[in-house]
Structure 1
Amino acid sequence: MDVRRRPGAAAADRPTKSRPAAAAAAAPAAAPGDLVLRAPNLRVVLAAMALFLAPFSYLAFVHYPLAADLRRSILICGAISLGGFFVVLRLIPVAARYLLRRGMFGKDINKKGLPMGEITVPESLGIVVGIVYLVIAILFQHFNFTADSIWLVEYNAALASVCFMILLGFIDDVLDIPWRVKLLLPTIAALPLLMAYAGGTSIIIPKPLASYVGVEVLELGWMYKLFMLLLAVFCTNSINIHAGLNGLEVGQTVVISAAVLIHNVMRIGSSKDLETQQAHAFSIYLVLPFLTTSLALLGFNW
């Protein structure tokens, strides 16, 4: 004879089924202060790398008959720079956790798909790019410069300026320096390069303006170093003013770096003067690792 049971008892006897959707809904959500660092958008970054480096590679290794030793130096610099790209990709998540632990973060209000103003994102990640860049540039000296190289002094002076700028930029992030002081920081950082500079002091007048100036090449003399100093102040602050906008600060850095590389290789290919070729090769050695390491940072901004 069947026994009629109460609904509650019958339900208790039935085996309970797992409800993953309900369990997931009941699971505690990530706290607003938790670190949310998406994986780098490698597909977009690698496409950007191919887009920016393809014209430079074509001009350097196909279009222009560059010297074999110059091509070798560019290849070595490119190989080390590519290694730096992957090192930055690996170190950024590590540095992000330490920066968040020290309270160096902001609130993300721009990234699509995240709660606006509730997600903390680490700041000062540019220090990872800067340190890796310096290591690459220092290691490259072993393969390209000799102890009596005439470019070694200026190369090390350029690295000293970069090191100064990294230090001052990190100090700015820590101390929140006012803008009136920020204008002076690039002046201090540019001093090693200005004091060691021994190159030409003339500038090429743009062709549309040459007829008004009267000359195609204008000799500035001592004013050239003043021009370099003001240019350093302008360039650094024009980039820094876009900090906080996802991908814009490092994005324009990548575009400018690629344009500088293409300009340098075109000047090398079109000039027969050895000193001019060496000067533009000097620029390539400094800009190429800067482009690859910046691309790695860009991957976390898109």
Structure 2
Amino acid sequence: MVVPTWIYLIVLFGLSILTILREPIYICILAAILAGLATHKLIPSFKPQLIKARLCGTDMHKKDKRLLPEAVGVVSGMSYIVCLCLLIPFPFVKWFLNEKNGSQLNQEEFPHHKFEEFIAGILSIVSMLFLGIIDDVLNLRWRQKLLFPTIATLPLLMVYIVSYGVTTIVVPIPLRPIFGRIIELGPLYYIYMGMVAVFCTNAINIHAGINGLEVGQSIVIALSIIINDFHFLLTGAQPAVEAHTFSLFFLIPFVAVSIPLLWYNWYPSEVFVGDSFCYFAGMTFAVVGILGHFSKTLLLFFIPQIFNFLYSCPQIFKLVECPRHRLPGYDEKNNKLYASRADLTLPGAVSKYGKIILKIFEFLRLVDIEYDEKTKEMKSVNNFTLLNLFLIKFGPRSEKNLAYMMILVQILSSALAFFIRYKLVDLVY
């Protein structure tokens, strides 16, 4: 692919400005813009190659059942990794520019722990992107998908152990008479961080199934964390400033490479993002949350994903019949989506505990159960996903309209997260 001349001009102009500014964050923004432009140009060129490699799938929610390239998230992932690798020196540029004994680096002040965190974060994201590609090719089982993030998180956990080793948590005010102000969790703290990584990488993958949803929700989450980062940069103390600057170096390029992918993945989609995008996006969030020391705040921005996971648990853990795909159904006549259903008449479709859960969900009006008119036995139930729940509550609608609704839910959830984080937190901590 021939790189247009104007891109070189932008690079030269940007470098001349940055030479004067010497501000790492501006370098990050410029590199992110270039990575985004490169991604926008690369995606069309990769489409025929992916189809030729048989990494493609049918868009089931379209009348023409088009064959689209899958795993295009790999293109965004590659651009992202290249961008991060090029950015490695810049968060530490002031130490390299610090003159001592001529132009020697001041080794005593250099933040080796931050450098190690940055490299470990990149390594974890690269590992997760690679494992996502394997999943796109081999179509792995859910149990195997849960194992992958655990392996990819090991570099993060090792760096955390070496650099900090802090395994205490602050107890919420209502529980302090029982447990005290601080609890030492020991190894349980590392298990918690590993679970955060596993959840983040799979939560986006579970909350998917329509054009634009995977990338759209990821961009909203990333922008929410970026807003939170800038809040701390303007008002926080030095340790918080360092942690949230670290977060920005990961998230600004992520948003930049995700926007072109959303452009091609939005309704009517030209590409599928694949599991590779969901995995590397989730691991990016896990990296900034764990190494930035704001994992609880991070989880607040995952409210829809947390609800969707908890709602899906009866099917994920086989308490209720779980089809291979739980995508919404498609009505070709009206060009609308409707809630897909699980057949409860199959042998072993509902366990003893599954029946109890179905009754509870029915009482809470979270499911639509179809009963046999004669026997009064349960015949079918909607699949337990947030998409199907919305289709039950608001009726069949177009895929584009449903995508807008889901993105709006994500935005409103982020607003709720900010309210909890900055208004209600004083009642708890």
**Which structure 2 residues correspond to residues 31-180 of structure 1 after superposition, within 5 A?**
72-110=23-61, 115-117=63-65, 119-145=66-92, 148-150=110-112, 151-180=114-143
Aligned twin of 1:296:
260
Q: What is the letter of the counterpart of residue 82 of structure 1? A: I
C-alpha distance in 1 between matches for 2:146 and 2:209: 18
CA deviation profile, 1:275-294 (whole Å, cap 9, x unmatched): 22111111111111111111
Q: Give the root-mean-square deviation of aligned CA atoms.
A: 2.3
**SS of residue matched to 2:211:** coil
Q: Deviations along 1:242-281, whole A, 9 cap, x unmatched?
A: 3442100111100000011111121232222x22211111
Match of 1:279 among 243, 247, 259: 243
Distance verdict in 2 for CA 1:290–1:201, change over 3 Å: farther
Name the CA shift for 1:124/1:231 in 2 (closer, same or farther; >3 Å).
same
Mark the CA change 1:104 to 1:212 in structure 2 (over 3 Å): closer, same or farther: same
**Cross-structure match for 2:297:** none
- Paired residues in the alignment total 225
Larger Rg: 1
Q: Which amino acid aligns with 1:268?
A: L
Does the alignment pair 1:188 with 2:151? Answer: yes
Percent sequence identity over matched residues?
Answer: 39
User: TM-score by structure 1 length?
Assistant: 0.69
Q: Distance in 1 between matches of 2:209 and 2:54?
A: 17
SS in 2 for 1:182: helix
State TM-score, norm by structure 2. Answer: 0.49
Q: 1:161 to 1:121 in 2, by over 3 A?
A: same
1:213-228 equivalent positions in 2, closer than 5 A: 213-214=175-176, 220-228=185-193
Q: Which runs of 5+ in 1 are unaligned?
A: 1-67
Over 3 Å counting, the alpha-carbon distance change for 1:120 and 1:219 in structure 2 is: same
Q: Which residue of 1 aligns with 2:14?
A: none
Q: 1:88 Cα deviation (Å)? A: 0.6
For 1:227 and 1:268, the matched residues in 2 are separated by 27
Give per-residue Cα distances to partners, 1:182-211, cap 9 Å, x unaligned: 111110111111111224545567xxxx33
Q: What is the distance in 2 between the residues matched to 1:175 and 1:225?
A: 30
Range moving further from structure 2, 161-170 or 94-103: 94-103
Hey, what does 1:10 align to over in structure 2? none
